[in-house]
Structures are given as C-alpha cells and as structure tokens.
Amino acid sequence: PPSKLLRPARRLRFYPHPEVDPIPLRNKLLEEKKAIKSLSYKKTGTTIVGVKFAEGVVLAADTRATGGSIVVEKNCEKIHYIAPNIYACGAGTAADTQFVNLFMSSNLELQRLNSGRQTRVSSYITSTASLLYRYQGHLGAYLIVGGYDVLGAHL
C-alpha cells in the first residue's frame, strides 16, 4: 500500500567517538605502507547531498549551523519545502538561503494556483537562477534542488 512507501524519514544522528580518526582505517594503513598519500581535507561547515534514482530523489543535510568555528545552532533545518513535489537543501548564509527559498516558494505557489497544474522542477530552477543572477553574487545561497514532476525525477 502507498502508506508504507510514503513514511516520513527519520532524522539520523551521528556522534563520532572522540578516539576515532576521521580518515578511514584502510587509507591510514595504505599511507603507513607509503602506497598512497592521503589528500588533505578541510571542514567547511554545511554538508548537503542529493541522490537521484529511477523512482525518485533523496535529499540529506546536517542540522548544525555554524558561524566560523562556533556552533550557533545544533538543530537547524536545511531542507526547505518549496512545493509539494520540490524540496531544496541550502548551504551558505542562512538568511539568504531562507529568503531565496521563501520568495521562490511563494512565487511558485501563485503560479500553481493560477495554472491549476503541478509546478515543474525546471520552472523552479530557472526562476531561482534568474533571481541569483540578478543579485550578481551578493546572495550567499547555495542550493541542491530535488523533485519529481510529470517528466520524472530531477536533481
């Protein structure tokens, strides 16, 4: 039955053990044998990811909001509702991301009510790209958009 397919996702939490090295054990062993040199990495803050598959799209994001090296909020929603069939993961300046998503969500809702049809994902992407271009890089909103429409799944 469809009710089993449309279960809300559980929020997964990951608490790393303080003694566990973030570099996987296999890479560490290869590095010790001088077989490879590990790439350096830098923690940059937000983690957002989207995966597209035949039947749909999965979006995921962390919940921590940071200001530099200080954790400002531990339970920040980074997956934003745009339309019944479209969601967006946001990274960057929280206020800019929220502004872009609320502005576009309200515009698409008006479009959906006027046309009587489901909003297409490409419509959201085109409108959002136009909005971001208009501000010429002064908006710090970085988005991964996922949705499903009459043309199928989009990421």
Angle at alpha carbon of residue 123, lines to 140 and 8, rounded to 5°: 75
With contact defined as beta carbons under 8 Å apart, do 86 and 124 qualify?
yes
Q: Diameter of the chain by CA atoms?
A: 65
Nearest Cα to Cα of residue 82 among 118, 133, 45: 118
Q: Which residues contact 63 (CB under 8 A, 6 or more apart)?
A: 11, 74, 75, 76, 77, 78
Active site residue 46: yes
With contact defined as beta carbons under 8 Å apart, do 22 and 16 qualify?
yes
- CA 45 – CA 87 distance, rounded (Å): 21
- Active-site position among 46, 97, 119, 128: 46
Residues catalogued as catalytic: 46
